[in-house]
Amino acid sequence: MWREVVEKFRGLPSQRKVVELLLERGFQVSPNGKVTSGGIAIPYTQVASEVGVDRRVVEITVKRILGDPGLQRIFENIRAIAFLADVAPLLGFSVIIIHPEDAKAKGILGDVTSVIAKRGISIRQAVSDDPYLVDDPKLTIITDKSIPGDLIEEIGRLKQVRGVQIRQ
């Protein structure tokens, strides 16, 4: 689905950057043309600065989104999540970052979470980068306790896993 959204901006690299940022951050486009996160408006200049374009590019992109009913429905309803990866160690949680062989392959999340669950470790959060939006997508798993070294090795031996990192 994301590929189709981004594809609507083919040949428009500056607008595509804006759309990719909106998707990556879960920013919404309100019916009145505001870029928002929940009810908080984000100025076009801030969005433009983040992706390195002029604010007018953001304005044109928003108008394009509002002019396409399919895009409008998506961007009015997208939501950001509280991603715990950077604060997890401060909360006593562990972070496992999985680098897949092929992020588009089926079953990566299921295989990794099965291995973790068999050890009786609870998963607090699992976030997978979208391989259509991110150049080097990864799966980030937040667990409620420390991850033993042999579990990291076991995850690393899964056929769909290229590498494993841990933060505790």
The number of distinct structural domains making up the chain is: 2
Using CA atoms, how far apart are residues 164 and 98, in angstroms rounded to an integer? 5
pLDDT at 133: 73
The sign of the torsion formed by the CA atoms of 82, 96, 138, 103 equals: negative
pLDDT at 35: 98
pLDDT at 36: 97
What is the domain range of residue 138? 88-167
CA–chain centroid gap for 100, Å, is: 15
Mean pLDDT (10-residue bins), the chain, 168 residues: 79 94 93 94 98 98 96 94 92 95 92 95 93 86 92 94 90
Last residue of a domain, one of 77, 100, 129: 77
Last residue of a domain, one of 58, 77, 96: 77
pLDDT at 1: 61
CB-based burial label for 22 (10 Å; 0-12, 13-18, 19+): buried
Using CA atoms, how far apart are residues 85 and 141, in angstroms rounded to an integer? 8
Pull the structure tokens for residue 97. 């970052």
pLDDT at 128: 92
Q: Residue 117's domain is classified under what CATH number?
A: 3.30.70.260
Last residue of a domain, one of 44, 77, 110: 77
Q: What is this structure's pTM?
A: 0.79
Domain-embedded: residue 19: yes
